[in-house]
């Protein structure tokens, strides 16, 4: 089945992980022509049929390659627009894109400039497109408290311009989530929505970590893979929104087994709102339509069940009531 024409909501997409290989290649070609890069061609660095990045090879791909290639204003604008176009072309009608504010001193770009530039692209795109986008700012697990507080301050500074929440992401093997308590409390106090990468890998799934993260009162949680029973019960009782990513979990071997073994099957029965999401379509190569097709195929969902699944995400968006109403009109047509 092809679900491109199904109106879809994407709530868990990392900007830099959503850049297609072709888009990276175009940037590389321009830089190569101007003799501005010595990097390998993205099509060689990330071959077209290579999607099996695991947690050890995945995170360095950004620091070692993608961030080094996309290191100026023009590449930031070009990649952001390209990512927005790709989601729209795939039939996404509402997108919450997330990104870690990144200063690029070599190009004189501050974190503030970085966020402002992306928001300018988003606002132009929103004005001329049926897909609406909001932004979530990510705290990286390797950050210290002051960096995390800076992310919350940026979220507050830009909340009127389309920033709707903050996220905790990054290598699950790194950092102590207790570091960020003050940052999450600060965000909550100011009604900034919170989403958190949750129980993504065994190292980041100790009861201590998971209960700490729940104490930050997230509105949604992402991945939700290695969850002990008592934590599951709490999540169900709170009816937390769940961002579930199928292909990424399979390719990165974050779950045991394959598509049909994915924990979507378990969470589906719980009544928690589910937003099927791509995570990093540029790396794992499966767009949202394909994720829906995989769910239909491996969990035996018919067309109506797939439509209901897609609509279920409306209730858990960080966008406002007006946006929810717009989506209800589009998705219940």
Catalytic residues: 200
- The Cα–Cα gap between 333 and 265 comes to 27
Q: Is 170 in the site for ligand IMP (CB under 6 A)?
A: yes
Q: Judge contact between 327 and 94, C-beta under 8 A.
A: yes
The site for Zn ion, by CB under 5 A, has a size of 1
Q: Give Cα 76 distance to the centre of its chain.
A: 17
Which of these segments, 9-17, 34-42, 75-83, 203-211, binds ligand IMP (CB under 6 A)? Answer: 9-17
Nearer to ligand IMP, 70 or 231 (CB): 70
Site string for ligand IMP, 225-264 (x = CB under 6 A): ----------------------------------------
CB 243 within 8 A of CB 221: yes
Rounded Cα–Cα distance for residues 92 and 86 (Å): 9
For residue 59, give the 3-state DSSP assignment: helix
Contacts of 174 (CB under 8 A, 6+ apart): 141, 142
What part of residues 196-225 is at the interface with ligand IMP (CB under 6 A)? 197, 200
Q: Specify the residue, 82 or 138, whose C-beta has the smaller distance to ligand IMP.
A: 138
Minimum CB–partner distance for residue 138 and ligand IMP (Å): 5
User: Under the criterion CB under 5 A, does residue 140 sit at the interface with Zn ion?
Assistant: no
By beta-carbon distance, which residue lies closest to Zn ion? 279
Q: Judge whether 36 and 71 are in contact, CB under 8 Å.
A: no
Residue 169 binding ligand IMP, by CB under 6 A: yes
Q: Do the beta carbons of residue 118 and residue 96 sit within 8 Å?
A: no
Identify the DSSP state of 85: H
How near is the Cβ of 201 to ligand IMP at its closest, in Å? 9
SS3 209: helix
Q: How far is the CB of 222 from Zn ion (least distance, A)?
A: 5
User: What is the chain's length?
Assistant: 333
Contact between 216 and 181 under an 8 Å Cβ cutoff? The reply is yes
Smallest separation, CB 169 to Zn ion (Å)? 5
Q: How far apart are CA 26 and CA 164, in angstroms?
A: 31
- 17 contact, one of Zn ion, ligand IMP, none, CB 5-8 Å limit per kind: ligand IMP
Say if residues 220 and 316 touch (Cβ distance below 8 Å): yes
The residue written with tokens 């378990």 in the block is: 266
How many residues touch ligand IMP under the rule CB under 6 A: the total is 15
- Exactly one of 3, 62, 87, 184 binds ligand IMP (CB under 6 A); which one? 62
* E strand segments, 40-130: 92-99
Instruction: Give residues 269-308 in contact with Zn ion (rule: CB under 5 A).
Output: 279
45 binds Zn ion (CB under 5 A): no
Strands (E) across 77-160 are located at 92-99, 132-140
Q: Which stretch binds ligand IMP (CB under 6 A): 12-20, 37-45, 154-162, 263-271?
A: 12-20
Among 86, 209, 280, 291, indicate the residue that binds ligand IMP (CB under 6 A): 280
Residues that bind ligand IMP (CB under 6 A): 14-17, 62, 99-100, 138, 140, 169-170, 197, 200, 279-280
Residues that bind Zn ion (CB under 5 A): 279
């Amino acid at each position: 089945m092809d679900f491109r024409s199904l109106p879809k909501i994407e709530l868990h997409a990392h900007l830099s992980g959503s850049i297609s290989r072709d888009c990276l290649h175009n940037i590389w070609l321009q830089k190569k022509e101007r003799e501005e890069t010595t990097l390998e061609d993205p099509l060689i660095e990330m071959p077209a049929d290579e999607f099996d990045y695991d947690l050890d090879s995945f995170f360095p791909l950004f620091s070692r390659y993608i961030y080094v290639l996309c290191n100026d204003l023009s590449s930031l604008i070009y990649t952001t627009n390209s990512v927005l176009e790709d989601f729209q072309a795939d039939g996404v009608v509402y997108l919450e894109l997330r990104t870690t504010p990144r200063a690029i001193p070599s190009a004189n770009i501050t974190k503030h400039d970085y966020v402002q530039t992306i928001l300018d692209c988003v606002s132009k795109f929103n004005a001329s497109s049926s897909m609406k986008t909001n932004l979530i700012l990510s705290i990286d697990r390797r950050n210290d408290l002051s960096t995390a507080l800076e992310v919350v301050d940026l979220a507050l500074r830009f909340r009127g311009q389309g920033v709707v929440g903050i996220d905790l992401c990054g290598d699950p093997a790194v950092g102590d989530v207790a570091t960020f308590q003050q940052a999450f409390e600060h965000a909550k106090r100011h009604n900034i929505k919170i989403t958190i990468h949750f129980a993504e890998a065994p190292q980041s799934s100790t009861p201590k970590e998971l209960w700490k993260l729940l104490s930050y009162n997230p509105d949604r949680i992402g991945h939700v893979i290695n969850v002990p029973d008592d934590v599951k019960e709490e999540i169900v009782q709170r009816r937390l929104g769940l961002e579930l990513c199928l292909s990424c979990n399979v390719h990165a071997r974050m779950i045991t087994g394959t598509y049909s073994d994915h924990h979507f099957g378990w969470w589906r029965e719980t009544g928690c709102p589910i937003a099927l999401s791509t995570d990093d379509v540029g790396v794992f190569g499966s767009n949202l339509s394909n994720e829906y097709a995989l769910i239909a195929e491996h969990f035996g969902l018919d067309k109506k069940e797939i439509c209901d699944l897609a609509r279920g995400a409306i209730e858990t968006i960080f966008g406002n009531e007006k946006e929810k109403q717009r989506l209800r009109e589009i998705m219940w047509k």
